[in-house]
Structure 1
Amino acid sequence: PGSRNAKRWQDVEELLAAGIDVVSTVNIQHLESLGDVVESITGVRQRETVPDEVVRRADQIELVDMSPQALRRRMAHGNIYRPDKVDAALSNYFRPGNLTALRELALLWVADRADEYLTEYRSRHRVAAIWGSRERIVVGLTGGPEGRTLIRRATRLAEKGAGGEVMAVYVTRSDGLTAVAPEELAAQRTLAEELGGTFHQVVGDDIPTALLDFARGANATQIVLGVSRRRAWQYVFGPGVGATVARESGTDIDVHLITHDAMGKGRGLPAARGARLGRSRVLAGWLTGVLGPALLTLLLTGAAPPVGLANDMLLYLALTVAAALVGGLLPALASAAVGSLLLNWYFTPPARALTVADPENMVAIAIFVGVAVAVASVVDLAARRAHQAARLRVESEILSFLAGNVLRGETSLEALLERVRATFAQESVALLERETETAPWTSAGSVGPRPEGPPEPGDVDVPAGENLLLSLRGRVLPAADRRVLAAFAAQAAVALDQQRLREEAGRARRMAEGGRIRTALLAAVSHDLRTPLAGIKAAVSSLRSEDVEWSEQDRAELLRSVEEGADRLDQLVGNLLDISRLRTGTVTPLPRETDLDEVVPMALVGVPGDGVDLDIPETLPMVHVDRGLLERAVANVVENAVKYSPPGSPVLVSASALGDRVELRVVDRGPGVPDEAKDRIFEPFQRYGDAPAGAGVGLGLAVARGFTEAVGGTLRAEDTPGGGLTMVLALPTARPAPPRPPEPRDTVPG
């Protein structure tokens, strides 16, 4: 009290800004970042918290530590609380378990801050050596099945010392290409985070160097690697990642090689080099590689004069390149073989023989074959890389689409499943779920025709989460497509969660709306129903009283008061029933051709004659509405306008035709409504501003809009020029009946 700031830490900030040193204390439970943790431990939500950044900016932090037993003794001796509060505090907040947990939080928080100081010091003084102040263990992941074993083993190593930290690291090549399964890597990341570690992905073409650079940068003391999965013969080409890291780590980083089930079994088949060529392209390549040289030979043998052996070789080489571009490597090799034989047979002396008289020609043919094979290999590799790049581009577009949907929140499960169906050319796609591993599958969403009977896994199934399965029916997909399909499966699980969250939020909104309506209804019952009932009760009691002699004029006045109260009750109960019917959807309109000149006067029954001016043209077209519902809507709108109109200012009710609609306008000169409240006044139990006496509970306009929309019209609010509010009912006109054909008439032959 008396401070100009709401929080004490804001006072500290001002003192520091003025150059004044501040010495203060803070309890661990008051740090803002630990609020949820402290609440889960003690069951008490701290109302006053201090931002962690304020405490972290302190030049010096000293931990005042005390055992839970010593703190409870101080509490029992009355050194902290008054004696009358000691027993309650010791049995609730200051229980030994709570104090032990809070003490551990304080120790860890201060240790983390000390580690920040150490990191800043090492960076400022450019210290490259490893300082083993606490165990930091780097786990090298390859994306293989041994990764989970390595993470668990590293966690056990870290738990042997206080404050141990595990950092799982996966090295990605700089070209972005990877052959690991993304779902396995994601599972390993989840496991590392669940065990209290962190996951890092670094880029580097040399895996040992990248791991060591990361470890030294993180001040790691140990590196955990799995024994290589390479087979024995592969060690001829190098010692492997583990041996290289152990050799280059030096004396400040320990390297652990962990055995596992997958060691020495190889890495499996390499990733597909590119997209598979279609059957038509392969056939065209073989035709180019086999028939092309024969046709070229016919052209060259008939050419006069001959073009020369060098030009002949270049032409055959061009055919080899064409075969590689069209059909791949094998048709190109066939073209090179056929071309070399034809060159030898027709164009090198002696002609029409496979022998070569001139050694230079033999060398030329050998060079031709070598160049043709090399060019074919390069062209085939380039074509496959182009196919692979095109595939990766499509995959990146798909993944970008999925990421964009996540960021924008535009995730519709049906639209996502339809995208999967179109992308992979499947007959049907479904997201299946089950409660337990032994329970039957149920469909959470599907597109396309599904077989009869209970849902079952299809031709291609990809796990989308715990007890979730993305099931595809149609063609079987190649392994290369499953990586993108796994991303779709993960997004489908997110879409399902978001859909259910939206449904739950909708139910919560409806419950809140129902609660608000019930509250307003109770208010109506307590006031708007009680007021006319009290008036009726007072008038009837007065009439029945034998102590007073009432004149005829007084009796008539009391009876009129009873009638007015009964009318108000009848109107209020009618509106409550109407809004209930609208809410439950039990309003069934019976539209027919209706003349507004007949409906509006009936709606104004009960309104004083000098309170409303009518302007309904006789030439107005008929409207296609339910007459009873429209009459109730107009009556409520006019009644509301009359209530808010100043004395001596009648309400104007006019109508005009506008295209295929008829607009009925109810114009008043009352206080009006701001633009931001024009939609809100149509909600139940809404009254804007100072409502006049007897204005009711705010149901009239809600009922009017509901009935208007039920008959196919709209109701909106506009400003009245010069002040006031205008209600516009737009109603559909009746369609003119089609002309009937002329009746046949008897004709007299003549």
Structure 2
Amino acid sequence: MARGELRIYLGAAPGVGKTYTMLEEAHRRGERGTDVVIALVETHGRKHTTAMTAGLEVVPRREVTYRGAAFAEMDLDAVLARRPELAVVDELAHSNVPGSRHAKRWQDVRELLEAGISVLTTVNVQHLESLNDVVARITGVPQRETVPDAVVRAAEQVELVDMTPEALRRRMAHGNIYRPEKVDAALGNYFRTGNLTALRELALLWLADKVEQQLGQYRADHDIDSTWETRERVVVALTGGPEGDTLIRRAARIAARSKGADLLAVHVARSDGLAGANPAELARQRVLAESLGGTYHQVVGADVPRALLDFARGVNATQIVLGASSRGRFAQLFAAGVGVTTIARSGSIDVHLVTHELAGRGRRRGPLPPALSRKRRIIGFGVALLGLPLLTVALEAGPPLPLIDDILLFLVAVVGVALIGGLWPALLAAVGGSLLLNWFFTAPVGRFTIAEGQNLLALAIFVLVAVAVSWVVDTAARTTRQAARASAEAQTLAAVAGGVLRGERPLTALLDRLRETFALDSVTLVEKGPGGTGTVVASVGDPVCVSPGAADGEVTADGDLMILLRGRTLEASDRRIVEAFAAQAAVALRQERLAAEAATAKPLAEADRLRTALLAAVSHDLRTPLASAKAAVASLRSSEVEFDDEDRAELLATADESLERLDRLVANLLDMSRLQAGALGVVPIEVGAEEVVPRALDDCGPEGRKVAVRVPEDLPLLRADPGLLERVLVNLVANALRHSPPDAPPMITGSTHGDMVELRVIDHGPGIPADRWDDVFLPFQRLGDRDNHTGVGLGLALSRGLTEAMGGTLTPGETPGGGLTMVLALPVARLC
């Protein structure tokens, strides 16, 4: 069975016309003969959208009961049984009512697609999983319903339904999106011009990535390797030399000239496994590239220009930035170089050849490292000096052999010396062997002359072959040693990276790994200060070295950072890997400091968030009761109107109720500030629940008489502050009354659990999902309030804080049959 196709209409915000556009497409498909049904469409009372559903078959919804309330959901089984060619399913990110076959509507859609039914659906950019937190920071409104990006990216078609912020706000003002009573609040909050502009850009950028993915797949399917300049991508080639900083910054400036251009830094490593670049420089340049918004990549290739161009074409790059050749002019006469070769082969990719300080100065190569150890070289010289005379004596003592046989035996000896001691002992053996052959075995014997031309040719060939074999053997030995060292360096760096990623303190772990790798006594990271003074940032081992003069070695990490080594003097060949350690240490230190700054800033940001939320909340909640009280008092003082006793009593009651409400708000705010400052006075004493509960219900006013109380008389005494406990119960009962239906009032029960007394405040309201229980204790949260215009949302946050200050706990639970139960647990009083 062929899988159905998915087409998604993506919008930046509600009201841009996604559902309307989707229904237009459904009508077009139906007019072309496609079997179309509406599986589910949410019109939200919008008359134009509702009108578009006319003429399309609608699959009836199924009714689901949850916590005493009825919900209408898509009837997935009915749609599957109907088996249309195309199903219209609105709001892809919707969460199904608990108890449904799937938790999310996108999972329903996936089942329809697997059944061979094509689907038209809608989603807003704020519901995409990867952008959910970004949208929350922009708008200040968290979105609980999300859909994985992979689901949307897997769609055959994603169409953006776009509208300018100004046009969308006009639609909102005309009442085409929300009901009139919600328009002003929406325009002043979520639908601000800045929010809508940011959401629109997010939608465009996300869709651009989706289109880029489709374009890449098309190019791969059609074997297109030429560059299509759909987006600027600047590739900068790094050799691991000091000129890399200049190249990266130049490439970043080129990329910055094109909005949305990508910067990619790439290093081509040798395919023979030998380390040709400085790992410390590459590590530092990687950090630089990433700090400028780019990415770092490494590819392997024997032909550097080919590997570089293959990478550039693979990422559809439009420009390549290269450094001018560091080789001298004489060297450039024999080989064109990477830059010239890349330009010649680049085709449609623009190549920038950037000059730098090292251009044309020639490559500075240090002396080649010996292929073999000192001990083996000494043995090789010994074999050459002793072995060749012994071979000569043996040949002289034995039966005479043709000259060619003597030459071959001496050649075997030279190869043996090369295998044992390397190039220089082999060269000594070749020269010595030719002299011995000339003196003892070439006519005239006993003289360094050669009578016959063919003997001269044979000796010349012997010398050339001996030298060539010696060179090949030495080169192979050197290459093997370099490859083994490069492999060891790679394994060490991989272990370093893994240890840094897994460790809680990456800097200390990095220095400790460096100490262990090179068997050092101590490793110290020092930061230079003004006046040349140094400060120890981190150190492992003993004794701690704080002065470069007392160290056995020092390596500059980055800028003012320096690593001091103590224990032994490292070989020059070891400095490469130590420099890589140093570069990683600088990165680890920077990360630790950023983490420390973030930890320091987090409480300040949290305090600022609370302050902002407080100002936003109390700007209405403090002003409303104050205005009511002021209006009532002003009316009573007015001499223009005569009030009878009933009107006067009503105005006084209004003023009294408003002032009492204002008093509760101010008291909650003061208590919350004392809790956060740690200055709340708590005086725990022995108190009975049967004493505190009635007082709390009295404080709730007439509504408190509706609460049923089931507290046993033999309940043990509590150890708590009576005033604070009463405040907690008042807040819990007020919250329960606000959410309970009239025919199911709240209830307070009491029981003993171990050494704790538990008081339960039970309501039978709509309840709160278990995954949001922790949210109800956040300040300024009003989850599920039907009257969302009263209270600053401090009640439960303050109640938990007061309870914990008394040594108790306050936890939410589910009420059987629907609702929320708040469990207040306090310690039992210990009687002497």
TM-score bracket for this pair, using the shorter chain length: 0.5 to 0.7
Equivalences for residues 612-691 of structure 1 within 5 A: none
Helix, strand or coil at the partner of 2:457? helix
Residues 25 and 473 (structure 1), Cα distance of their counterparts in 2 relative to 1, 3 Å cut: same
2:575 pairs, out of 466, 482, 493, with 482
AA partner of residue 300 (structure 2): V
Residues 256 and 397 (structure 1), Cα distance of their counterparts in 2 relative to 1, 3 Å cut: closer
Matched, 1:243 2:336: no
How far apart, in 2, do the equivalents of 1:300 and 1:18 lie? 90
Helix, strand or coil at the partner of 2:322? strand
Q: Deviations over 1:549-572 (max 9, x none)?
A: xxxxxxxxxxxxxxx99xx99xxx
AA partner of residue 419 (structure 2): L
Report how far residue 343 of structure 1 moved: 2.6
How many aligned positions are there?
Answer: 534
CA contact (8 A) 1:275 1:391 kept: no
Residues 112 and 341 (structure 1), Cα distance of their counterparts in 2 relative to 1, 3 Å cut: same
AA partner of residue 106 (structure 1): A
Q: Deviations over 1:145-189 (max 9, x none)?
A: 333333333343334445433333332232232311123223333
1:100 pairs, out of 185, 188, 197, with 197
Larger displacement relative to structure 2 (290-299 or 380-389): 290-299
1:340 pairs, out of 434, 453, 464, with 434
2:385 pairs, out of 280, 290, 294, with 290
How far apart, in 2, do the equivalents of 1:263 and 1:499 lie? 37
Report how far residue 373 of structure 1 moved: 1.6
Matched, 1:472 2:565: yes
1:530 pairs, out of 672, 686, 697, with 686
Matched, 1:150 2:247: yes
How far apart, in 2, do the equivalents of 1:475 and 1:161 lie? 52
How far apart, in 1, do the equivalents of 2:596 and 2:237 lie? 43
Q: Which residue of 1 aligns with 2:482?
A: 388
Q: Deviations over 1:302-359 (max 9, x none)?
A: x254556445434443443343334332222222222222332233333332222333
How far apart, in 1, do the equivalents of 2:532 and 2:183 lie? 54
TM-score, normalised to structure 1, is: 0.60
How far apart, in 1, do the equivalents of 2:530 and 2:361 lie? 34
CA contact (8 A) 1:226 1:242 kept: yes
AA partner of residue 530 (structure 1): E
Residues 86 and 463 (structure 1), Cα distance of their counterparts in 2 relative to 1, 3 Å cut: farther
Larger displacement relative to structure 2 (239-248 or 103-112): 239-248
How far apart, in 2, do the equivalents of 1:385 and 1:21 lie? 61
Q: Deviations over 1:196-226 (max 9, x none)?
A: 3333322322222223333333333333333
CA contact (8 A) 1:441 1:454 kept: no
Equivalences for residues 289-438 of structure 1 within 5 A: 289-298=384-393, 300-301=395-396, 303=397, 305-306=399-400, 309-402=403-496, 405=499, 417=511, 420-432=514-526
Report how far residue 408 of structure 1 moved: 6.2
1:440 pairs, out of 513, 516, 534, with 534
CA contact (8 A) 2:548 2:564 kept: no
Report how far residue 472 of structure 1 moved: 1.0
Equivalences for residues 21-60 of structure 1 within 5 A: 22-60=119-157
AA partner of residue 387 (structure 1): R
TM-score, normalised to structure 2, is: 0.55
Report how far residue 118 of structure 1 moved: 2.1
AA partner of residue 467 (structure 2): V
CA contact (8 A) 2:233 2:264 kept: yes
Sequence identity (%): 55
Helix, strand or coil at the partner of 2:159? coil
Report how far residue 21 of structure 1 moved: 5.0
Matched, 1:259 2:355: yes
Q: Which residue of 1 aligns with 2:165?
A: 68
**What RMSD, in angstroms, separates the aligned Cα atoms of the two structures?**
4.7
Residues 58 and 397 (structure 1), Cα distance of their counterparts in 2 relative to 1, 3 Å cut: closer
Matched, 1:206 2:317: no
How far apart, in 1, do the equivalents of 2:122 and 2:468 lie? 77
Report how far residue 423 of structure 1 moved: 3.6
Residues 343 and 501 (structure 1), Cα distance of their counterparts in 2 relative to 1, 3 Å cut: same
How far apart, in 2, do the equivalents of 1:184 and 1:412 lie? 20
Q: Which residue of 1 aligns with 2:762?
A: none
AA partner of residue 458 (structure 1): A
Report how far residue 396 of structure 1 moved: 4.4
Residues 424 and 437 (structure 1), Cα distance of their counterparts in 2 relative to 1, 3 Å cut: farther
CA contact (8 A) 1:140 1:169 kept: yes
Structure 2 unaligned residues grouped into runs of 5+: 1-70, 74-95, 98-102, 601-674, 676-681, 692-715, 720-753, 756-806, 810-824
Q: Which residue of 2 aligns with 1:187?
A: 284
Helix, strand or coil at the partner of 1:61? strand
AA partner of residue 69 (structure 1): E
Residues 317 and 469 (structure 1), Cα distance of their counterparts in 2 relative to 1, 3 Å cut: same
Larger displacement relative to structure 2 (372-381 or 191-200): 191-200
How far apart, in 1, do the equivalents of 2:528 and 2:298 lie? 34
CA contact (8 A) 2:128 2:146 kept: yes
Report how far residue 468 of structure 1 moved: 5.1
Equivalences for residues 584-595 of structure 1 within 5 A: none
Structure 1 unaligned residues grouped into runs of 5+: 508-517, 519-524, 536-563, 570-641, 644-683, 687-692, 699-750
Larger displacement relative to structure 2 (287-296 or 351-360): 287-296
Helix, strand or coil at the partner of 1:287? helix
How far apart, in 2, do the equivalents of 1:215 and 1:412 lie? 34
Residues 96 and 151 (structure 1), Cα distance of their counterparts in 2 relative to 1, 3 Å cut: farther
CA contact (8 A) 2:384 2:426 kept: yes
Report how far residue 30 of structure 1 moved: 2.4
Report how far residue 33 of structure 1 moved: 0.6
How far apart, in 1, do the equivalents of 2:567 and 2:496 lie? 23
Helix, strand or coil at the partner of 1:121? helix
Helix, strand or coil at the partner of 1:62? strand
CA contact (8 A) 2:243 2:358 kept: yes
Helix, strand or coil at the partner of 1:379? helix
How far apart, in 1, do the equivalents of 2:118 and 2:401 lie? 97
Residues 402 and 318 (structure 1), Cα distance of their counterparts in 2 relative to 1, 3 Å cut: same
CA contact (8 A) 1:436 1:467 kept: no
Q: Which structure carries more relative contact order (alpha carbon 8 Å, separation 6+)?
A: 2
Q: Deviations over 1:429-450 (max 9, x none)?
A: 2344579998732152221333
CA contact (8 A) 1:139 1:225 kept: yes
Helix, strand or coil at the partner of 1:441? strand
Residues 9 and 416 (structure 1), Cα distance of their counterparts in 2 relative to 1, 3 Å cut: closer
2:228 pairs, out of 110, 131, 152, with 131
How far apart, in 2, do the equivalents of 1:187 and 1:416 lie? 16
AA partner of residue 352 (structure 2): H
Report how far residue 394 of structure 1 moved: 3.4
2:554 pairs, out of 461, 475, 479, with 461
Report how far residue 114 of structure 1 moved: 1.8
